[in-house]
Amino acid sequence: MSRILRLAAAQMGPTQCVDSREAVLARLIALLEQAAGQGAQLVVFPELAFTTFFPRWLLEGAELDQYYETAMPNPSVQPLFDRAKALGVGFYVGYAERTPEGRRFNSAITTSPDGSILARYRKVHLPGSVEPRVGDRFQQLEKRYFEYGDQGFEAFRGPEAWGRPVMGMLICNDRRWPEAWRAYGLQGVELMLIGYNSAAYDPNGGSTENEEIRTFHSNLAAQANAYMNATWAVSVAKAGNEDGSGLIGSSVIVDPNGVIVAQAKTLGDEVVVADCDLDACRQGKEKMFNFAAHRRPEHYRRITEQVGAILPD
């Protein structure tokens, strides 16, 4: 029996800081309904989908606190959960999490078709800085506003209705780090879900990066790592001119050979759908990337024992 799962990448256009929560929820629900209308069983939304990408500014107090969710779901996002349950569609969505203890994480959840939460994930690879860069119009202050994720890369099973896929979650910068993918690969991952908000300029200052090269890198990271771990991947953007700051688009669904099978064409709200044969992962897992047969972890100690580069003498 084949395991075919119809996936949707629900790219969002920009969310401005003046946009109301009600307006953003209406957009998310409209995308969900559009995807469900095309037969999607699982919909992937972007990182920090409920708000603008607030780490681009220096914020404090109540002005900062407004961007965090103190529970998931909560009354302001419950309509999305209710509509997804009514449609029998699961979803991945990213958000800013504040725990009851006051800890703050860049987080994501995946829900099942019955509305229950299958798994939660907290972003591990936080880019940017703690302190703002003097003179820059836009910042990248994720290290200031979030803690490093504390739950690692734990795979989980999807429901029977999806063919019980082995699933993983990453957020934005995580997709650029092969260690994260391989941690999931060693658990047999078949479907990686990723949301991102990636600047269309060098977010760390300078002029060596532009929209074209950053879009290329985004696609490259998804394609190469999907291939090297023999997994499907869905990588979904919030895109366009957000509060005067450009975000790349190019949301993609990638197969286990690293081939893009569906791709967004705009920088706005857009749904792309693909039928994913989960058993197509077996080719890579049983041959080229048969880890049990070919890995040699005794030679990989630097990967876990070292942070910065140490040059030879």
Catalytic residue ranges: 47, 123, 172
Question: Could you tell me which residues are beta bridge partners of residue 276?
Answer: 5
End-to-end CA distance of the chain: 57
The Cα-based distances of 312 to 15, 49, 226, 309 in angstroms read 47, 44, 32, 10
Which residues fall within 8 angstroms of residue 196, CB to CB, at 6 or more apart?
46, 47, 171, 172, 173, 175, 218, 235, 236, 237, 238
Q: Which residue has the tokens 């070292």?
A: 306
Residue 275 near residue 4, CB atoms below 8 Å: yes
Residue 199 near residue 247, CB atoms below 8 Å: yes
Closest CA to 158 of 73, 41, 257: 41
